């Protein structure tokens, strides 16, 4: 049973929001390390650290009562920008199968676009479901491992195997959550229109 969502405030300058902003600022750094410096291992480490901060800012927000309305919007947006921005660099690098990058980015664009359009038409916001978080978590583990597998570090073949062990369930959870979002979006859209009608 999921824990109830913490009440959100109107605060902007919170530690979780600063962490989220820092994650976004690291996307150009990732591009430079991977494409400019041609260092897949270092890029993999940075990507793994960025994935960890996604859990850290959420934990701090809940543990220290720093949940904010801005954070609830900014965090999933940052996830998608980070995913798409970093995967674009990985696609250009070619160290990870390009079809995997395309599939993941296409899913993010479709779901993100659906949310933007539905929100513009009055959809009431709802929290991300656990399957979506599990898919994101799996893929955020998979891509650093696959990058390490494509590098010249020791035991790189093992990293490749571990990367696919995380990528497959990550893809399953991601696409399952995308399918189940459709009825939730329709229901939230109907609720939003009903509320506006009042």
**What span, in angstroms and rounded, lies between the C-alpha atoms of 66 and 86?**
28
pLDDT at 3: 42
List the domain range (segments joined by +) for residue 29. Answer: 15-197
Per-residue pLDDT of 150-181, as tens digits, reads 999 999 999 999 999 999 999 999 999 888 88
1 falls within a domain = no
Task: Assign 2 a pLDDT band (cuts: 50, 70, 90).
Answer: very low
102 falls within a domain = yes
Instruction: Return mean pLDDT, the chain.
Output: 83
Residues 6+ apart with CB under 8 A from 78: 20, 21, 23, 24, 54
- The tokens for 114 are 């659906």
Q: How many domains does the chain have?
A: 1
* Inter-residue contact 96 to 83 (CB < 8 Å): no
121 falls within a domain = yes
Q: What share of the chain is helix, strand, coil (3-state, %, to 5)?
A: 80, 0, 20
Which one, of 194, 173, 31, lies nearest residue 111 by Cα? 173
Q: Beta partners for 9?
A: 68
Over residues 30-58, the mean pLDDT reads: 89
Task: Kindly report the CATH number assigned to the domain that includes residue 170.
Answer: 1.20.120.1760
8 falls within a domain = no
* For the chain, percent of residues with pLDDT exceeding 70: 86
**What span, in angstroms and rounded, lies between the C-alpha atoms of 13 and 8?**
13
Per-residue pLDDT of 106-127, as tens digits, reads 998 888 888 777 777 777 776 6
Task: Assign 71 a pLDDT band (cuts: 50, 70, 90).
Answer: low
Residue 142: is its pLDDT beyond 90?
yes
Give the CB-side neighbour count of residue 71, counting CA atoms within 13 A: 27
pLDDT at 139: 92
142 falls within a domain = yes
Among 34-38, 62-66, 183-187, the range scoring the smallest mean pLDDT is 62-66
**Three-class DSSP category at 12:** coil
Q: Is 48 exposed, middle or buried (0-12, 13-18, 19+ CB in 10 A)?
A: middle
Give CA separation, 96 vs 26, 58, 99, 151, in Å. Answer: 20, 29, 9, 10
* Inter-residue contact 54 to 79 (CB < 8 Å): yes
CA dihedral 84, 85, 90, 93 (to 10 degrees): 140
Residues 6+ apart with CB under 8 A from 189: 118, 121, 122, 123, 124
79 falls within a domain = yes
5 falls within a domain = no
**Three-class DSSP category at 146:** helix
4 falls within a domain = no
Taking the whole predicted model, whether its pTM rises above 0.75 is answered as yes
């Amino acid at each position: 049973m999921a824990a109830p969502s913490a009440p959100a405030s109107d605060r902007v300058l919170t530690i979780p929001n600063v962490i989220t902003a820092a994650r976004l600022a690291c996307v150009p750094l990732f591009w430079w390390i991977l494409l400019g410096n041609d260092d897949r291992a270092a890029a993999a480490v940075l990507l793994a650290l960025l994935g960890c901060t996604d859990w850290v800012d959420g934990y701090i927000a809940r543990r220290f009562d720093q949940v904010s309305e801005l954070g609830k919007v900014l965090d999933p947006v940052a996830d998608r920008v980070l995913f798409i921005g970093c995967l674009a660099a990985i696609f250009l690098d070619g160290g990870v199968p390009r079809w995997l990058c395309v599939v993941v980015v296409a899913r993010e664009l479709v779901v993100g676009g659906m949310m933007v359009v539905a929100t513009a038409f009055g959809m009431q916001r709802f929290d991300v479901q656990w399957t979506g978080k599990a898919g994101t978590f799996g893929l955020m583990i998979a891509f650093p491992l696959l990058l390490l597998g494509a590098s010249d570090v020791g035991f790189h073949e093992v990293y490749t195997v571990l990367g696919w062990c995380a990528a497959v369930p990550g893809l399953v959870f991601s696409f399952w959550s995308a399918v189940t979002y459709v009825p939730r979006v329709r229901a939230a859209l109907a609720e939003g229109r009903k509320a506006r009608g009042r």
